[in-house]
Amino acid sequence: MAFQYDRYIRGGKLPHIWCPGCTYGIVFKSLLRVVDTLAISKDDIALVSGIGCASRLPGYVDFNTLHTTHGRALGFATGIKMARPDKHVMVVSGDGDATAIGGNHFIHACRRNIDITVLVFNNYIYGMTGGQYSPTTPSGHMASTMPYGNVDPSFNIPELAKGAGASFVARGTAYHAAGLDKLLIEAIRHKGLSVVEIINACPTTHGRRNKFKSPTDMLLWMKDTFMPVAAFEKLPPEKTAGKFPIGVLYRKEGLPEYCETYYGLVERLKRQREGRV
Amino acid sequence: MGKIKLLQGNEACAEGALYAGCTFFGGYPITPSTEVAEYMAKRLPQIGGAFLQMEDEIAAMAAVIGGALAGKKALTATSGPGFSLKQENIGFAALTEIPCVIVNVMRGGPSTGVPTGPGQSDIMQCRWGTHGDHPVICLTPAYVQEIFSETVRAFNLAEKYRTPVIIAFDEIVGHMRERIEIPDPGVLPVQDRTKPTCPPSEYLPYDESKGDVPPMANFFEGYRYHVTGLNHGSDGFPVNASPRIHTDELRLLRKVESNRADIVRFEEYLLEDAEVAVFAYGISGRSAKTAVEAARKAGIKAGLFRPLTIWPFPEAQVAALSARVKGIVVPELSLGQIILEVDRCAKGRCRIEGIYRVDGDPINPAQILAKVKEAN
């Protein structure tokens, strides 16, 4: 039987705001399937976002949902997780939201290794405001604020996350949707901060300016550009130019998780007090 | 019988928060407010509460709102530059109606200014700091004991009206040590947010038909709902159509405006027969009290109006006062901010004289006395 998305989508809240050809719907559906697979109660999830196209996703799903200020989703999410460490806290964010205006919160959430799952929808552009270049816009690409081609070097989000201390880092794409389900399952199961960069397409504000003739071309570009990390690592360096790995790129189990460490301290103080009595 | 302690204003603020049931602090170090964070860092782990030092002031404000939405009473403390950084998220809390308390221990200056000196020049920022029209409650205690009790009141007002509440006091009161009594639990009233009693399927988080302050569900309690900083309908989902935005923003203001009798608190000292009044809050209010006493000794009928609630501004009280005195003297550690409000309410019924100082020192009673004599 086909998956019943309606069980997770809020009645009357569709259609969504995303443009025809946008790949966010693919990721959206993956997230719902994954929550179902993991059998997490809808009451036990807080889905937090900032500002941008990706950040509109929480409005459509029947969880506890919080659509905050630009770049700050991780600050809000950290507060929620510290208040209720027994609950699942997830963040959806775009490339600009997570790594430009929210870059400081991103690296510090990674450093703390707090048990939050962060999905970064990377469509290489500020879509909602009409196609301005973001920290992930490739060099040379056209954007409304780079009308002569992007001169700004770009972030590699998984490397940024790993360098900042995230204990689980993965990358998937909207094209490799089946693989995305598996990555999200692993990310949510992981204890600690997990980052999944999800490559997405914005045909409206990125593709049209950059010689992608159709949304399909952008998906085919994903197919040609991204390959499983195991295969990627076997290639000699001259053959990896312009290619990127997908899959679990970095994982370190057993690192102290922030809430466990903090509430472990609370327990220790409690025992000390009782011992004294 | 409560506990007698010798505490700094900042510490008393932390104690007041704990008395009110605060179990969540998110902050960032900044002079001269840091002792609030330090005190909470020590105390919260002892009682199972959450303490977070975040990566910046913005994240600290965000974490506080997140903690509050997840059911905690949450506090942050900051000073001038940090207060500026928090503004966007303070507006978010106002529009989404998430209760929380923000302490601003005021120092001097625009920019970095005078980090170690007192100031009162954030007082308009307390009212108008975040963009857009929004409700504000701001309290201005002047004594260490009062910082304690007003912090309890700040949490109560935040919970009662589902709104952020600011406590603004200056560096001197924040760092001054005074003897205070911390009452036993139950002596001061402690208020919690009103939660919904309807089934989750019927819950509307911003249902104006439930009154100006609709019940608030915490996250994870079965009432799955949406919170957004966009203007929203009674169900919490974005609305960009007239007339809902207009009527809902009016409701937000009404939460404060129609409850002035409950929110506005002030001290009137020797005002019954006064011919000259001093309007002053915080450390300037303390200097003013001494000046008023000295004026009385000199045969001048002077009195003090000292607001404990500066926002909403005690409009009716100042209007009435202006009708029965010759003049109102307004000493403040700024170049003339709150005097604009006094002037607005006095409507030309009496003289208004300001005393301004922004050099890192307080206004002394002699300065105020001289101006009182002038205004008499």
Per residue in A8-63, pLDDT (tens digit) is 999 899 999 999 999 999 999 999 999 999 999 999 999 999 999 999 999 999 99
Rounding to the nearest 10 degrees, give the CA dihedral for residues B265, B270, B271, B277.
-100
For each of the domains in chain B, give its residue range(s) and CATH number, in order of start.
Answer: 3-182 (3.40.50.970), 267-375 (3.40.50.920)
- Contacts B88 to A, Cβ<8 Å: 69
- Contacts B225 to A, Cβ<8 Å: 64-65
- As given in the structure block, the two tokens for residue B160 are 């009662």
Local structure of residue B183 (DSSP, 8 states): P
Residue A148 has pLDDT above 90, yes or no: yes
Q: Does residue B277 contact residue B329 with C-beta atoms inside 8 Å?
A: yes
Closest CA to A126 of A75, A67, A54, A60: A54
Asked if the C-beta of B45 comes within 8 angstroms of chain A's C-beta atoms, the answer is yes
Closest CA to B34 of B76, B90, B6: B76
* Contact yes or no for A64 and B24 at CB 8 A: no
Residue numbers of A between 236 and 275 with CB closer than 8 Å to B? 262, 265-266, 269-270, 273
Q: In a 3-state reduction of DSSP, which class is residue B17?
A: helix
Tens of pLDDT along A177-228?
999 999 999 999 999 999 999 999 999 999 999 999 999 999 999 999 999 9
Residue type, B25: F
Q: What is the CA radius of gyration of chain A?
A: 19
Q: What chain B residue is nearest to A273 in terms of C-alpha separation?
A: B46
Residue A276 has pLDDT above 80, yes or no: no
Where chain B has pLDDT below 70, the residues are none
Listed by start position, the domains of chain A span: 16-276
Closest CA to A158 of A133, A193, A131: A193
* Contact yes or no for B237 and A62 at CB 8 A: no
Q: What chain A residue is nearest to B88 in terms of C-alpha separation?
A: A69
Asked if the C-beta of B201 comes within 8 angstroms of chain A's C-beta atoms, the answer is no
- Contacts B227 to A, Cβ<8 Å: 65-67
Asked if the C-beta of B54 comes within 8 angstroms of chain A's C-beta atoms, the answer is yes
B314 cis-preceded (ω within 30 degrees of 0) = no
Which residue among A79, A81, A108 places its CB closest to the CB of B55? Answer: A108
Q: Specify the pLDDT at position B242.
A: 85
Asked if the C-beta of A59 comes within 8 angstroms of chain B's C-beta atoms, the answer is yes
Asked if the C-beta of B298 comes within 8 angstroms of chain A's C-beta atoms, the answer is no
Choose the mutation target among B204, B228, B239 for the interface with A, i.e. most A CBs under 10 Å: B228
Which residue among B55, B67, B229 places its CB closest to the CB of A105? Answer: B55
- Contacts A260 to B, Cβ<8 Å: none
Q: How far is A139 from chain B (nearest CA, A)?
A: 30
Q: What percentage of chain B has pLDDT greater than the value 70?
A: 100
* Contact yes or no for A64 and B220 at CB 8 A: yes
Q: Specify the pLDDT at position B77.
A: 98
Choose the mutation target among A53, A67, A259 for the interface with B, i.e. most B CBs under 10 Å: A67
Q: Specify the pLDDT at position A198.
A: 98
Choose the mutation target among B53, B88, B224, B240 for the interface with A, i.e. most A CBs under 10 Å: B224
Residue numbers of B between 67 and 96 with CB closer than 8 Å to A? 67-72, 74, 88-89, 92
Asked if the C-beta of A16 comes within 8 angstroms of chain B's C-beta atoms, the answer is no
* Contact yes or no for A72 and B62 at CB 8 A: yes
Tens of pLDDT along A81-108?
999 999 999 999 999 999 999 999 999 9
Can you name the residues that pair with B309 across neighbouring β-strands? Answer: B139
Q: How far is CA A169 from the centre of its chain?
A: 10
Look at the alpha carbons of A97, A178, A81, A162 in this order and tell me if their dihedral is positive or negative. negative
Which residue among B58, B71, B225 places its CB closest to the CB of A75? Answer: B58
* Contact yes or no for A75 and B227 at CB 8 A: no
Closest CA to B267 of B316, B309, B305: B305
Q: How far is A220 from chain B (nearest CA, A)?
A: 35
Q: How far is CA B264 from the centre of its chain?
A: 11
* Contact yes or no for B71 and A64 at CB 8 A: no
Q: How far is A69 from chain B (nearest CA, A)?
A: 7
Return d(Cα B267, Cα B328) in angstroms, integer.
15
Residue A112 has pLDDT above 70, yes or no: yes
Q: What percentage of chain A has pLDDT greater than the value 70?
A: 100
Tens of pLDDT along A154-174?
999 999 999 999 999 999 999
Residue A277 has pLDDT above 80, yes or no: no
Tens of pLDDT along B34-55?
999 999 999 999 999 999 999 9
Asked if the C-beta of A276 comes within 8 angstroms of chain B's C-beta atoms, the answer is no
Mean pLDDT (chain B) is 97
Tens of pLDDT along A118-147?
999 999 999 999 999 999 999 999 999 999
Q: How far is CA B94 from the centre of its chain?
A: 14
Q: Specify the pLDDT at position B1.
A: 78
- Contacts B48 to A, Cβ<8 Å: 266, 270
Which residue among B67, B92, B230 places its CB closest to the CB of A83? Answer: B67
CATH number of A16-276: 3.40.50.970
